[in-house]
Amino acid sequence: MNSLFLRAIENGEKLEMIYQSDKGILTQRIIGVRKIGKEYIQAYCYTKHQIRTFKINNILSIAPIRHKRGA
């Protein structure tokens, strides 16, 4: 997962993730990773429009956003 975070930082890619809070609440978010720690990432959350800290263990799925090519 760290390699995905590093690539996102290097290329300025947005990621889409499913995140489960410590209270068990599931959310789908679009993020831009800023910093990577051992247990946390810091990212701009486009859903909440602010920088947030996310526990890596609480990320259920994450992938780069694929841009559709127009005709």
- Residues 6 or more apart whose CB falls under 8 angstroms from that of 16 comprise 28, 29, 30, 31, 62, 63, 64, 65
Listed by start position, the domains of the chain span 2-64
Q: What is the mean pLDDT of each run of 10 residues along the chain (71 residues)?
A: 92 97 97 97 97 98 80 50
CATH number of 2-64: 2.30.30
How long is the chain? 71
Cα separation, 23 vs 8, whole angstroms:
28
What's the pLDDT score for residue 41?
98
Please tell me the distance from the alpha carbon of residue 71 to that of residue 68, in angstroms, as a whole number.
Answer: 10
pLDDT at 70: 57
Contact status, residue 64 vs residue 31, Cβ threshold 8 Å: no
**Which pLDDT value is given to residue 26?**
98
pTM given for the model: 0.87
